[in-house]
Amino acid sequence: MRDSGDQARVVLLSGPSGAGKSRLARLLHEAHGWPVVRLDDFYRDGDDPTLPMISLGGHPIPDWDDPRSWNADAAVAALEELLDTGRARVPDYDIAQSRAVGSSELTAEAGHLVVAEGIFAAEIAPVLRERGRLAGAFCITHGRTRNALLRLRRDLREGRKPPLVLLRRGLELWRREEAIVDRAMSLGAHCGSPESVRRLVERRLIASETAAGPPDRGLDPWEHDRRQG
User: Consecutive sets of 10 residues in the chain, 229 residues long: mean pLDDT of each?
Assistant: 61 88 92 92 93 80 87 97 95 90 92 90 95 92 72 73 74 77 91 89 63 56 42
- pLDDT (0 to 100) of residue 112: 79
Which pLDDT score is estimated for 215?
66
Q: Which fold has domain 4-206?
A: Rossmann fold (3.40.50)
Question: Residues near 224 by Cβ (< 8 Å), separated by ≥ 6?
Answer: 185, 190, 191, 192
Task: Return the ∠ at Cα 40 (arms to 38 and 46), rounded to 5°.
Answer: 145
Instruction: State the pLDDT at residue 3.
Output: 47
What local confidence, expressed as pLDDT, does residue 19 receive? Answer: 81
Res 72: pLDDT: 96
Query: CA dist 72 to 78, 110, 120, 174, Å?
Result: 10, 24, 8, 24
Which of 60, 62, 10 minimizes the C-alpha distance to 39?
10
The predicted structure's pLDDT at residue 120: 93
Q: How many CB atoms sit inside 10 A of residue 97's CB?
A: 10
Report whether 19 contacts 140 (CB < 8 A). yes
CA distances from 113 to 37, 62, 75, 81, 202 (A): 11, 33, 16, 14, 12
Contact 16, 143 (CB under 8 A): no
| C-beta separation of 89 from 104 below 8 A | yes
Q: Smallest Cα–Cα separation from 195: which of 218, 215, 225? A: 225
pLDDT of residue 222: 43
pTM above 0.75, yes or no: yes
